[in-house]
Amino acid sequence: MSQQPISLPAKLINGGIAGIVGVTCVFPIDLAKTRLQNQRPGQQVYKSMVDCLVKTVRSEGYFGMYRGAAVNLTLVTPEKAIKLAANDFFRQQLSKDGKGLTVLKEMLAGCGAGMCQVVITTPMEMLKIQLQDAGRLAAQRKPVVVCSSKLVSGPMLSRSYNVAAAPTALSATQIARKLLHTQGIQGLYRGLGATIMRDVPFSVIYFPLFANLNRLGKPSPEQSAPFYWAFVSGGLAGSAAAVAVNPCDVVKTRLQSMSKATNEETYSGVMDCIRKILRKEGASAFLKGAGCRALVIAPLFGIAQVMYFVGVGEYIVENSPLRLLSPP
C-alpha cells in the first residue's frame, strides 16, 4: 500500500473520482454482461458482447448503452470510497503489532471491505439491473397482432388491428419508489445474500493479489510503485477476481431481475437459483458474461488504484476547504 498516510476525506475523493471515471468508460460492457447473463437457452437475443452492443445501438440508440448509468454514477462514489477506505482501515488495524501483513490478514482485510460495501452495492445493482435488462426484454416481446375482418356495405373491406402496448419505461427513482411502497426497504436489498457471496470473495482475492503484484513493482521497500504499475496491478487483480466470482454474479443478476420474459424461470432464493441453472442450462451458464465482467473490472480497478496511490484526493483536500477535515 501507499507509504504515506492518506486522510479519510482524500480516500473518499479518490474512490469517488475513480468510480465515476471507470463507470463512464466501461458501462456499455457492463450492460452487455447483464443482458448476456440473463439470457436463457432458446431465448438468445444476443450472440456475444459485440453483437449485444451493436443491436443495442441499432434499437435503442447510442445512449441505450448507458441505461442505468445514472444510478451507478450516483452511488459508485460512496461504494468505491467505502471499499477502498475500509480495506485500508482494516489493514492498519491488523498491522498494529508492527509486523507486515500476512496473506491471511490481507484476506481478512479484504473480507471486511467487502462486507462494508454491500450496504451501497446491493440497492445500486438492484436498480441498475432493471434498467440495463429492459432492452433485452423489449427485444424478446413480439407485438401480438389480432386481425379481424368484416364485410361492410360497399366494396371496401374494413380491418381493425389490436397491437399489444409496449411496457412503459420506468426511471430508477420510480422503480425505487415502487419497491419501497410494495416491499419496504427489503425490496431494495433483494439479492443481498448473493451480493455478499460475490463481493466478499472478490475482495478477499483482489486486495491481497493487488498488494503483492504492486509490491513487485517497488524500486525498494521504502518507495511506492510507479503509477502505471499500480494500474496494471489493479487491472490484473481485478480481472482475476472478477472471473473467479462470476458464478456468484450470474446468480445475483438472476435474483435481482424483477421483470421476466415469457416462460423465463423465477427463483425463490440462492440455492433454488443454483439448482435450476444447473438443471436447465448446465454448469457453463455460470460463466456467462465472464469476459465482459473482466473487461469491466480491469480498467475500473486500475483507474481506482492510480487515483488512490497518485494522491489526487490529497491534492484536492490540501487545496480546498476540505483541508479542515484532515487531521493535523
In the chain, the N- to C-terminal Cα span, in Å, equals 21
Which residues in the chain land under pLDDT 50? 1-3, 144-167
Per-residue pLDDT, 135: 83
Place of cell 482475492: 205
The tens digit of pLDDT for each residue in 44-102 reads 889 999 999 999 999 999 999 999 898 988 888 788 778 878 888 898 888 877 777 88
Per-residue pLDDT, 165: 43
Cα angle 314-320-322, degrees, rounded to a multiple of 5? 70
- Which residue from 113, 14, 97, 5 is spatially nearest to 316, judged by alpha carbons? 14
Record the pTM: 0.81
Phi, psi torsion values for 179, nearest 5 degrees: -65, -45
Percent of the chain with pLDDT over 70: 81
Domains, the chain, with CATH or none: 8-142+191-323 (1.50.40.10)
Per-residue pLDDT, 140: 73
| Per-residue burial over 318-328, b = 16 or more CB atoms within 10 Å of its CB, e = otherwise | eeeebeeeeee
Per-residue pLDDT, 138: 80
Per-residue pLDDT, 144: 43
Place of cell 442505468: 68
- DSSP per position, 115-156: HHHHHHHHHHHHHHHHHHHHHHHHHH----EEEEEEE-SSSP
